Every structure is written in C-alpha cells, then in structure tokens.
Chain A
Amino acid sequence: MSDTHVIRTERLTRYFGRRSVVRELNFTVPRGSVVGLLGLNGAGKTTTIRMLMGFLEPTRGTCQVLGHDSRTLSPETRARIGHTVEGHFLYPWMRVRDCERFGRETHPKWDVTFFEQSVRRFGIDCEAKVSWLSRGQRAGVSLASTLAGDPELLILDDPALGLDPVSRRALNETIIEFCESGERTVLLSSHLLDDVERVADRVALMVDGRMLVDSTLDDFRSRVTAWIVDSAEDPTIHHTIPGMVHCRPIGSRWHVTVADAGAETETAIDHLNAASVERVDVTFEDAVLAYLSRSRVGHSFYSGAAS
C-alpha cells in the first residue's frame, strides 16, 4: 500500500445472515487527513470500522490499516491506532486511576502526563468511579485514554454521541490539535454534520453499505447544486433530471438537489413544467442530508410522503 494512505479497503463486503451490510466498498484515507464518515444508522459505518480494527471478519474483500491486513493486526500495529468505541465504553467498576493504569499496561507508548492533564482539563477526579461520571466526563476519560497512547491514526466511532455543547467543542478542538502536525490521521464517524464540517477536510458518505461520496469538503460542496421548483406535484415524476440526488417538498414547492450538474441538468430543469425555478445555495448540511434522505421513505413523522 502506498504510504500516502493509512486505510485502504478493496471490495470490502460483510454480510449478516443473508443481508449485505457493507458491499463492495473501495475506500481510502490519505495520511494526514481528517475524514468524516457519515451515514444513517445501519448504513454500515460501525461495521466498516469494526472490520478495519480487526474485530469482525470481512465476508470477502480486504482492508488494510497502516499497511497491514486488518485480520492479522499485531499488537505493535494496534499500538499505532487509537480507537474509541461508540458510546465511549469504559468498565463501570473502574476508577479513573484504574483506567489510566489499564491503559498504561496495555499501551507501550503511554503518556501519563498527557492523560492526567487531559482528565484535569475535563474537571474529573482521578479517584472517581467511571459509573459516577457524566457522559461528557466519560467521553473525556475515553479520549484521554485513546490519545495517551500517542497513536498516529485515530478511529473514532460516533464520539460526540450524547455530549453537551461544551464537551463537543472540546472534542473538536482535541481532534484539530491532534492533527496539527499533518502526520496524523483521523477517521471520524459521526451524525453531527456541523462538527464534521468544522474539523474534517474530507467527507465519506455511506448509504446502504455503499460509499457514494469520498471527497474533500470543498469539492463536495462545489459539486452539489440545488433548485427550488414551484410545482403542484413532484416535478421529477414525469421528467428525469441527470444527477438528481433528492427531491423533497417544502410546502407547495420542491427542493431538488443534484450532483455534478452540467448542461444536461440545466436543460432538464428548464424543461420542468413548473411555475418558477430558482437556483439556491447549498450548505454542507443540505448536501449531506440530500444523500442521506435517499434511503428514507418519509420526510416527516407526520407526512408519509414518499421520496
């Protein structure tokens, strides 16, 4: 594997029973980047991460992390990877001091000072039991444990889940600081789009086990366009719009999102039988949501309108 990529998957596929959760996934993470891994629940993000970490065997295909097959990661390679699991799991019976000890004895490059400073920054007592800590404090201990091992690759699975705004900001700042040198890489799985927009320089978007977007944030933003179409009925029912990602109703109007809109798309939009058509700016969040909404049937819990 090229040294420029710390993660590479080739035709990575994983089935649970008869259902493929991840299918033919080709995906790379360049060294020194912060990649936001986005997708709905069940899109295959956690399964992909578990295969990357070697916790789950791929049904077929391969995945490599830091140049090594994930199925046979040695302790030395694992020492170069920092990982937080979904929900910041820690053993509830341990004290914070025990977490530090457990981490120290299972990581060769453990930085005690870093851990203690980080924990102190979160205002956590080292003698406190994990079960007494708030979710934010637990995230702090979990991140401190992950970073104290001095990893060169950080794989974070939904680290901001349930965190308060202050803890989320602290998490984001930690990730930014971690990558300052440009040599360290982060794969960040999250549902919080503004956090990803703030810290990531690349976005990877999974829908139903497939990777539909794998690009820089700027490239992604620039290649997604949207129009507001004033029409009584869904304008896309009788007209095909090349590159259309999603069309959703907003009151009596329709918001049409398109990827890589070209001349053909412009022509198709012009030919829509609509009272008015207006091009609008697309935010990162709009663009991501357009992709994510493709696999959801309804737009609101009240209206069952199909997409």
Chain B
Amino acid sequence: MKALIWKELRENGRWLPLGWVIVTFACLMSLPSRQYVEAGLSSRLTLGLALLGPLMAFSLGVLQTFRDTQAAAGGYLQHRCVTEQQVFWSKMIAAMVVYLTAIVLPLVLFACWIEMHGLEKYPMRPIEVLPALACSLLAFSLYPATLMMMTRSASWWGTRWFPMVFAVSITGVFSLASDHYAMKMSFVVGFIAIAVVSWLSLTALSFWHGHGERTHRWLQVGYLSVCSVIIVTFGVHLVWGIVGETEPSPDQVYNQFEIETKTRKPWLLMLQFYEDEKTHKQKRRVLGGAPIDGSPVIDPTTPISGEKEFTEYGFNYMFTSELNVYPNYGFINAATEFERSQLQYFYDDRGYLLGYQAKPKVRWVQTIAADGVYKGGELAGKPFTRRPIDGFRSFREAGYPIPLIDSNGVYLVDDDSGSIRTLIEGPIDGQIVTDPKDGSTPRMFILSQGTLSEYRFLNASGSEDWFEAPPEGVRFEKLQSLAVHGLVAEIVQSVQVPDSLLNRRHFGVATTDTGIAVLEDEWSRRFCQLSSDKPAELIEFSLASGTEIPRGYYHFNLKTALCGLIPAAMLAAMRAWNLVDSNSGFSAGYWLQGVWLNDFQTTVLFSVFAVACLVAVLLTLVIAWKYELNRRTTMGWVTSVLALGLAAPLAMIATYDRPRRELCSACSKARRIDAATCEHCGAEWQVPMSEGIEIVDRAA
C-alpha cells in the first residue's frame, strides 16, 4: 500500500504547481478593488474555488484513472501482490493529499497576507478563507465521482456521466449560497463534505474494476438513484422555467387580515392582485370584506359599503426569538443600510460596525460598538449581539439614518458628538418597525420577556409628526438628521403575550381599537386580542360557505402540474430544506409552499403525481423484463417508484447492463450470451464445429 501511495504521489504530485497557480489566481481575483471599498472576499473566493476546485478534482480523477484503465499500464499495476481495494485507496489518499496541498497551502498563505494587511487596508479577515476551504472540501466529491464515471462500462452518450450529477449539484448548491457562510455554516459544510466524500468514496470503490458487482451493488443502486432523481428534477425545472417565461401570471385572490384605518378594527378582506396593464406593476383590488367583530361566521365576499380605507399589510410579522433572526451574512459584510456621509460601513460578525473612508485611499477610520463610537484600527467597546442594522427599513427609505438595534437595546448614533445614545433598553427578544403607507411616523413593537410593547418616536417637542415620508417611487438622496429631532422612544401600550404564541417562530402584530392583535399566521382563522387591562381574548371564526378562497394560484396551472413530475423523494427534500431555510432558492420549492395550502392545486399536483407514478411503474416493469431482472429485484424497483417517480426507470437503465443475446442453435430463440445454458430450452452452447484440422495431443 505504501508503495502504491508513493507511486500515485509521484505520478500526480507534479501537477501541484499548476494547482497552486490556479488557487493563487482565485485568491488574487477575490481581493477587494483598490479603487473603492467593498467586502465579500469570502463569497468571491468561494465562488472562484467553486469553479476551479471541482475542475481540479475532476482532472485528478481523469489523470489517475485514464492510464491505469489502459491494458498495458493496468496489467503492470494489477498483476502485483496487491488487492483492488489497495489500489483504489492509494489513489484516493494520494489524490486527497495532492488536492488539499494544492488548495490549503495557498489559502493559508493568503490568510497570512490578509492578517498582515486587513482590516486596516480592506474590510477583510483571515477567517474568511474558511468557507472557501469547506466548499473546496465538498468539491473534492467530484474526484470519487470521476473515478466512478471512468470505471463504468456504460456509453458516454448514455448514462456513463450520471455519477457526476450529484457531486456537481451538491458542490454548486453549497458554493452558490456561500456568501451567507460564517463560522458555523462553514463547519456544517465541512461536515457535510466529509460525509459526502466518504459516501462517494465507498460507492466509487464498489465500481472499481467491478469489485462491487459481487459485494456492494446496493451502494451503486443508491447513488445512481440519487443522480437520476436530480436529473429528473432538473429536467422538470428546465421546462418549469420555460413555462414560467411564456405563461402569463394569473390574477391571484387572497383572503387577508387588514386594519380599517379610521376605526382601527380588524377586517378580513378578499383581495385580488393583478398586473397593471400600463405600469406592469402589481396592484390590488378589494373584492369584499367583513369586520371581525366576534361573529362565528365571516363572509369576506360581502360588498363594503361606504368609503373605507385599510392599512395595507396591516399585520407586521416579528420573530419571537433572536435565534430565529435570518439571515446570517458571513464574517464581514457591507452595511449599506447604515448610511453616513463620506464613510462606508461594514459589519464584522464579532459585533462591530467598521467605517471606511474611500478617498484619498481606502482606510479604516471608525468603529461603532454598542457603547460608543471609536477610532478605526482597533475593535474597541462593547460588541453588538447581532447585526444591528436589520430593521427600520421605513426610516432608510425616507432618507433618515437608521437607529441600531441588537438584543440589548435600540441605539441612536449622534454624528455630531460622535457618541451613542440608547433609545430603548433591552432585553429584546423580537422587534418589528411598522411601515405605514399613509405617511405617518413608523412605530415599533418590541417583545421582551413575554411582554409586547408598542413604541412611538417623538421629537424634542414631544410630537410624533416629524416624519416626512417620500412620495411614492421617490427615494430621498440627502440624509435627514434624526438628531435634530432629539428623538426619544415612548411606550404607547404594553400587553402580555400568551405562552402559546411565544412558542411560535414568528407572529403578526397590529394595533387595533382595543389594544394589540396578534395573529398566528396569515392563513389562520383566529387571532388573539390583547390589551393592557383585560385578559387575552381569543377570537375564532369560520368562513361562510362558498367563500373559502383557494390560497395561491386560483386556476389550473401548468407549473403546478409539472411539480407533480418531481420525484417524491426530492419533494420531501425540498420541503425539509424549506423548513430549515425558508429563503432557499428552489423555485419549485417556493411554488409548492403555496400549492400545499390550496386544495385545488394539491389535487392537480397529486393527480399528475399519480399518473407519473403509473407511467414509472409501467416503464419499470418493461425495463425489468428487458433486462431480465428477477422478481424480487423488480418488486423492489416498482416499490421505489413511490419515492423515485420517473427517476426509477432511469436509475434502472443506469444501474444494469442490458443482456446481450444470440440465437440459440437448439431452439432458434435469442438467448443470453452470459449464461451457460439457454433459458428457453436449457441447451448448452454448441462447441464450434470441428474443421478436421485440429491438432490436440493427449496431454491437452
């Protein structure tokens, strides 16, 4: 084994300088520009290596297997007193050493360079190479996948390339999302990479010179099934995208909770959203509605009498715990929401806002911490407990500098005095700033240890009428100062939130005539009316018969039908992924979130799914018959259709070799060439006819 590893290292180690050049190139390309200040080194580096790392792993796989799969070189290697497993593992180990050396060494040197020059020079940290390293480890999964591809006997125009599908997909998915990766996610990706590479290595071993044909076939079946599921899903997505381009977006009808502006009473409205023909902007039309006044049955189709105005998006949704706050922005990221003249700010996930000047040269000049504003060059003061600039969107859009917020309080930076003033003291579990469409000053809801408080912001003269909302479509260019208003936050009302609501991930809040209404989610038919002087009141109702508006798309939609072709295993994976990461980028996954809530669409989806399963079962049976699989294996594949759908027959074609046949000399039927006897008549193969010139002696 040692000699084999040495041989592989000697053979492939010569490619190391090329690897170093490639990775160094990726490092240099990821450096921030000298002309202006920018962050995102981590995501640029990861993206660069996401392209080059898989290429290196693939090339290594081809280089290591191509020669040894040739007759002469293969014979020279394999006739030795070594097992096929030893040959395989020596290749794996050597490839891992060469690959990691090519990646890690330049990355470590790059990290050292960053340590010497950052943060003074650019908003960057040495730790930012970590996501790139984790994704590179994942990209190594292309190496065992390449070994599988090279050692398979399938046709290049057929299924030979199938093993690459999973490795390419998982590397692509994680690398493209890399701008969110900080320490925790890098380690998660690292662990995923170890698991994936281990799984693929064992599967590649089973492909190696047919070693697994006799022992670990299930690994091949499992892996090729996963690849087939991805191929079918990708195919459906491709058609899905084309359909999405051509199919007009249908009008959508929803039932939605809103607050009537004048009376502050909650209503359930039936709204139609449509695309304006002139402006192509999404608009809404109120079709009907009814106040939620304690009646057990609400009819949202009731025509609304008189002129009534409603707060658009009357309920604001807040997370109930800081742990639920999404997203993670990586180690260091641009804080474009936190605008100040001259300086550009970046958030360092150690809890500081770093201010950089761009001219005459890029320089770190200011550090903002939770307890003060400090000079640049050092991370001084008390760090923020989270990214403090998520919130106060309505302030930013009106051109006001935003207050900062973390789990300990809300702060206001006074540019003139260079100090920080605490507007609201924590602890803060959840918060939301309202975005009133009527131009009034935004208010803030804060959840603190089970108490939900509504705050209003007053200027120095105690007035709330200082907020100047921009006209629609206009964004104020010039910053308005909050300091001149001498802004203070004042509690309007505080209510106690029941534990059942606190256990939820998020809920909606709105001010009503009697206090604060808390809504479990926008689809629920009950909400909690909270007030400071009365116990919580749970209002439940049902919709009048015939007014149950299907949520999501209303009419038959081809996109939903296409989703029915996606294998159930992938649908389950998408669902699980959506639960973990609700902002994930599966377009069909987004679509399905609406489909699940709609009886009509769900019926369409399941009908197509059932038809697809039926077709898959038929195909499976035909393939099993053509490939002469035994009854047990056939039944296994038929059962797998439930999870694999149309991918099951594809996986079968990828897994098995179609038996070749020749006419039987005894019964003239086509018989398998790899069987000793004819499956039809039991005849053995006919010994070639004697030509009368054979010379065979007794010893032979």
Which residues of A pack against B, CB within 8 Å?
Answer: 11, 13, 15, 17-18, 20, 23-24, 27-28, 30, 46, 50, 53-55, 57, 59-61, 75-76, 78-79, 81, 83, 85-87, 89-91, 93-94, 98, 101-103, 105-108, 157, 202, 210-216, 219-220, 223-224, 242-245, 259-260, 291
Which residue of chain B has the shortest Cβ distance to A219 in the bound complex? Answer: B697
Question: Which residues of B sit under 8 angstroms from A214, Cβ to Cβ?
Answer: 695-697, 700
Residues 77-93 of chain B, each 1 if its beta carbon lies under 8 Å from chain A, else 0: 01111110000000000
Complex contact B72–A24 (CB within 8 A)? no
Which of B4, B685, B699 touches A13 (beta carbons < 8 Å)?
Answer: B685
Question: Which residues of A sit under 8 angstroms from B75, Cβ to Cβ?
Answer: 50, 53, 55, 83, 85, 89, 157
Complex contact B7–A91 (CB within 8 A)? yes
Docked complex Cα distance between A302 and B367 (Å): 92
Which of A24, A46, A259 touches B695 (beta carbons < 8 Å)?
Answer: A259
Which of B287-295, B607-615, B670-678 forms contacts with chain A?
A: B670-678
Complex contact B72–A86 (CB within 8 A)? yes
Given A18-B660, A87-B72, A214-B700, residue A259 in contact with residue B81 (CB < 8 A): no
Which residue of chain A has the shortest Cβ distance to B684 in the bound complex? Answer: A11
Which of A30, A93, A94 touches B699 (beta carbons < 8 Å)?
Answer: A30
Q: Which of A20, A103, A212 has the most CB of B within 10 A?
A: A212
Question: Which residues of B sit under 8 angstroms from A215, Cβ to Cβ?
Answer: 695-697, 700
Question: Which residues of B sit under 8 angstroms from A54, Cβ to Cβ?
Answer: 78
Complex contact B78–A55 (CB within 8 A)? yes
Complex contact B692–A242 (CB within 8 A)? yes
Docked complex Cα distance between A87 and B696 (Å): 30
Complex contact A243–B693 (CB within 8 A)? yes
Complex contact A83–B700 (CB within 8 A)? no
Complex contact B3–A223 (CB within 8 A)? no
Which of A17, A91, A103 touches B11 (beta carbons < 8 Å)?
Answer: A91
Docked complex Cα distance between A11 and B677 (Å): 12
Complex contact A78–B11 (CB within 8 A)? no
Question: Which residues of B sit under 8 angstroms from A18, Cβ to Cβ?
Answer: 660
Which of B71, B81, B696 touches A46 (beta carbons < 8 Å)?
Answer: B71
Given A23-B688, A87-B72, A105-B3, residue A223 in contact with residue B80 (CB < 8 A): no
Ranked 6 nearest A-B pairs via Cβ: A105-B3, A106-B80, A89-B72, A214-B700, A75-B81, A85-B75
Question: Which residues of B sit under 8 angstroms from A79, Cβ to Cβ?
Answer: 81
Docked complex Cα distance between A244 and B83 (Å): 48
Complex contact B685–A213 (CB within 8 A)? no
Count residues of B near A (Cβ-Cβ below 8 Å): 37
Complex contact A243–B660 (CB within 8 A)? no
Question: Which residues of B sit under 8 angstroms from A81, Cβ to Cβ?
Answer: 79
CB distance from A256 to the nearest CB of B (A): 12
Question: Which residues of A sit under 8 angstroms from B675, Cβ to Cβ?
Answer: 60
Complex contact A60–B676 (CB within 8 A)? yes
CB distance from A161 to the nearest CB of B (A): 11
Complex contact A213–B78 (CB within 8 A)? no
Given A50-B75, A106-B3, residue A216 in contact with residue B697 (CB < 8 A): yes
Is B580 in contact with chain A by the CB < 8 A criterion? no
CB distance from A50 to the nearest CB of B (A): 7
CB distance from A138 to the nearest CB of B (A): 12
CB distance from B209 to the nearest CB of A (A): 8
Residues 573-593 of chain B, each 1 if its beta carbon lies under 8 Å from chain A, else 0: 000000000000000000000
Complex contact A83–B79 (CB within 8 A)? yes
Docked complex Cα distance between A252 and B444 (Å): 115
Docked complex Cα distance between A147 and B674 (Å): 36
Question: Which residues of A sit under 8 angstroms from B307, Cβ to Cβ?
Answer: none
Which parts of B1-50 form the interface with A (CB within 8 Å)? Answer: 2-4, 6-7, 10-11
Complex contact B673–A59 (CB within 8 A)? yes
Residues 57-100 of chain B, each 1 if its beta carbon lies under 8 Å from chain A, else 0: 00000000000000111111011111100000000000000000
Question: Which residues of B sit under 8 angstroms from A28, Cβ to Cβ?
Answer: 699-700
Question: Which residues of A sit under 8 angstroms from B3, Cβ to Cβ?
Answer: 101-102, 105-106
A–B complex contacts, Cβ < 8 Å, 12 sampled: A13-B673, A20-B673, A28-B700, A54-B78, A55-B75, A75-B80, A85-B76, A102-B6, A211-B696, A213-B694, A243-B692, A243-B693
Complex contact A93–B11 (CB within 8 A)? yes
Complex contact B72–A85 (CB within 8 A)? yes
Docked complex Cα distance between A94 and B76 (Å): 13
Complex contact A53–B73 (CB within 8 A)? no
Docked complex Cα distance between A113 and B208 (Å): 36
Question: Which residues of A sit under 8 angstroms from B78, Cβ to Cβ?
Answer: 53-55
Q: A55-B74, A89-B75, A212-B694 are in contact. List 5 more A-B contacts (CB 8 A).
A: A28-B699, A55-B78, A75-B83, A93-B10, A244-B693
Which residue of chain A has the shortest Cβ distance to B686 in the bound complex? Answer: A24
Which residue of chain A has the shortest Cβ distance to B79 in the bound complex? Answer: A83
Question: Which residues of A sit under 8 angstroms from B276, Cβ to Cβ?
Answer: none
CB distance from B597 to the nearest CB of A (A): 54
Is B687 in contact with chain A by the CB < 8 A criterion? yes
CB distance from B399 to the nearest CB of A (A): 68
Which parts of B652-700 form the interface with A (CB within 8 Å)? Answer: 660, 673-676, 685, 687-688, 691-697, 699-700
Which residue of chain A has the shortest Cβ distance to B210 in the bound complex? Answer: A57
Complex contact A260–B695 (CB within 8 A)? yes
Docked complex Cα distance between A215 and B700 (Å): 7
Complex contact A213–B10 (CB within 8 A)? no
Docked complex Cα distance between A213 and B699 (Å): 12
CB distance from A295 to the nearest CB of B (A): 12
Which residue of chain A has the shortest Cβ distance to B2 in the bound complex? Answer: A105
Given A11-B685, A60-B675, A102-B3, residue A212 in contact with residue B71 (CB < 8 A): no
Complex contact B674–A108 (CB within 8 A)? no
Which residue of chain B has the shortest Cβ distance to A74 in the bound complex? Answer: B83
Residues 551-593 of chain B, each 1 if its beta carbon lies under 8 Å from chain A, else 0: 0000000000000000000000000000000000000000000
CB distance from A249 to the nearest CB of B (A): 20
Which residue of chain B has the shortest Cβ distance to A104 in the bound complex? Answer: B3
CB distance from B254 to the nearest CB of A (A): 61
Docked complex Cα distance between A11 and B80 (Å): 27
Q: Which of B76, B693, B696, B697 has the most CB of A within 10 A?
A: B693
